[in-house]
Amino acid sequence: MSSDDEVRAAAHAAVDEAVAVLRAGRDKPLDRIGKAAKDFLTEVDLASEAALKAALAKSTPDVGFFGEEGGGADLNTGRVWVADPLDGTINYATGSPLCGVMLGLLEDGVPTLGIIDLPFLGTRVDSGAVQDVDGFDEAIIGMGDAFHQGGGERLDAYLQMTVDVHRKAMRFRCVGAASVLWTWLASGNIQGMVLAHNNPYDVVAGHAIAKASGAVVTDYAGAPLTLSSPGAMAAVPSVHSDLTALARDLAAKT
């Protein structure tokens, strides 16, 4: 089994390969491959995931791999890389810099390592330090795109929480990329974030980084976040309880 330092170095090297794919495809016409309503992927997503998988298979052959586009290993057993090869595909495809590569490591279902690179913002994190505040009215809170909620009462509750956050926080952010929100939280640029889901490729890397940076990472009800949680959120210690209170109806609907 590779040492922790070797595994971390392998992860950074693999992310380098994926970032190169994103940069190379930046100014080229992209075909949009349908996934679901309001969602698509591009050939860059696929090429980036292939680059990650190939690099990690060579450097850490004893670690499994699970990617957003191709799936893969059982997430609950052993060591498994979890990758979002292009987070914020719609942003990327429309020329926005708010996109990134996310790579996390699970050990028996528990996030232990994360790397996020935002290539068009010149930022990479694998740890950080949150910036706490004195109260919710001094906090900047990021919310993930609501379309992940599907429809019905859960969507309504998520949209209502978005309104409540917008009213009560100092500022509100919705950027269309979980990678950006996790990075901003770990870097002290925001104080809380709520995702509309708990997809492992959008959460595992950020979960590990946020915890290492001093954030509280939970589900909507405030319970410890696991792979089976219905949704994910994280915040600085002083803000988390207020965020959980605002998510009470959403937690009930999920």
The CATH number for 195's domain is 3.40.190.80
- Mean pLDDT across the stretch 228-249? 97
Assign 44 to helix, strand or coil.
Answer: helix
Residue 146 is given by DSSP the state G
Whose CA is closest to 45, among 27, 28, 60, 25? 25
Helices (H), 86-224: 89-93, 152-168, 178-186, 200-212
List residues forming the annotated binding site.
68, 84, 86-87, 202
Residue 226 is given by DSSP the state -
* Total domain count, the chain: 2
State the helix-helix crossing angle for 43-59 and 4-24, rounded to 10 degrees: 150
Same structural domain for residues 117 and 156? no
Same structural domain for residues 246 and 170? yes
List residues forming the annotated binding site for Mg(2+).
68, 84, 86-87, 202
Average pLDDT, the chain: 94
Name the one residue in this structure whose structure tokens are 């919710």.
136
Residue 143 pLDDT grade (very low, low, confident, very high; cuts 50, 70, 90): very high
Q: Among 98, 125, 152, identify where a domain stops.
A: 125
Residue 25 inside a domain? The answer is yes
Least confident of 142-156, 216-230, 237-251: 142-156
Are the beta carbons of 81 and 60 closer than 8 angstroms? Answer: yes
- Mean pLDDT across the stretch 197-221? 97
Are the beta carbons of 248 and 144 closer than 8 angstroms? Answer: no
Element spanning 216, H or E: strand 216-218
Same structural domain for residues 116 and 46? yes
What pLDDT is stored for residue 147 in this prediction? 75
What pLDDT is stored for residue 55 in this prediction? 98
- Mean pLDDT across the stretch 102-130? 98
pTM of the model: 0.94
What pLDDT is stored for residue 36 in this prediction? 60
Domain extent, residue 36, equals 4-125
What pLDDT is stored for residue 38 in this prediction? 62
CA dist 187 and 182 (Å) reads 9
- Mean pLDDT across the stretch 196-202? 96
Residue 42 pLDDT grade (very low, low, confident, very high; cuts 50, 70, 90): confident
CA dist 250 and 45 (Å) reads 31
